Amino acid sequence: MTSLPFYQIDAFASRTFEGNQACVMPMDSFLPDETLQAIAAENNVAETAFIVQTGEGVWDLRWFTPTVEVPLCGHATLASAHALFSHLGYDGEEVAFDTRQSGQLTVKRTPDGRYEMDFPAPEIRKMDVTEDVAAALGAWPLEAWGGPFYAAVFADPEDIVSMQADIDLIGKLGVMKDVNRGNLGVLAAGGDGVDVTSRFFAPASGIPEDPATGSWHCMVAAIMGPRLKRAFDCYQAYPGRGAKIGVELVGDRVKLRGDAVTVIEGKFSL
């Protein structure tokens, strides 16, 4: 029987039961894809991150939901850096992660003890608001944007917090051009002590609603950064958990900042 190191971490969280759960599993080399997918399904959290060291301060990184491999995952990247800094003896200033579809991503510690991730800013474009989207969300947005996901902008943060989205309908929205509308985010300016309030629904990736989503906040940065023209704080209002995410659009890059807490440390047996 083979045993692999295993860390379950709440990312974008300052304490247990906040943010988003990620499992981080360091390996000497990646196991076959079907094995990685089976492990992620067994872990049954939003993402499992697999990391393989390739050089000094450099790791290959892959992310799997319980059903698919994804091109970018912010909270599991933050969790991977937390595992390296807090449990695996890494004492460098910055961690570099090489990924298959999102290039090299870096994570460093900030003076206030949080982690800062450097991600590419996505290209976005205005899109039409359609009746099927409004039906799935139970409300008609002010505007919509396309990019890695479909984004619906509302007038009031309370519209986001109280939203009763129809997950089955969101999952059936399908694809329009290159926008995967089965993964859909909603946002509004303002909120309780924050600049932006959002939520993210991802049934197309096997996640009805995600508690904290770094890749989604890259798109939030692209939408709200030009309007606010400064770093800003976001609250992802997942019912019962919630996540605080610092966001800053810097040219064609996005800085995401947050905390992380280890919940479980152990071994995964194969």
Q: Is 38 exposed, middle or buried (0-12, 13-18, 19+ CB in 10 A)?
A: middle
Bridge pairing between strands 94-98 and 104-109: antiparallel
How far apart, in whole angstroms, are the C-alpha atoms of residue 127 and residue 124?
9
Residue 269 CA: distances (Å) to CA of 2, 6, 42, 53: 6, 10, 11, 21
Measure the CA–CA gap between 133 and 256, rounded to whole angstroms: 28
Residue 223, phi then psi, degrees to nearest 5:
-80, -45
CA dihedral 48, 54, 57, 60 (to 10 degrees): -30
d(CA 190, CA 34): 43
**Residue in 18, 47, 69, 116 annotated catalytic:** 47
Pairing of strands 179-189, 260-269: unpaired
**Is position 47 annotated as part of the catalytic site?**
yes
For residue 111, the number of C-alpha atoms closer than 13 Å in the C-beta half-sphere is: 0
**Could you give the 3-state DSSP secondary structure of residue 221?**
helix
Query: Whole-angstrom Cα distance, residue 176 to residue 130?
Result: 11
- Backbone φ and ψ for 62, nearest 5 degrees, come out as -130, 150
Q: Which residues are catalytic?
A: 47
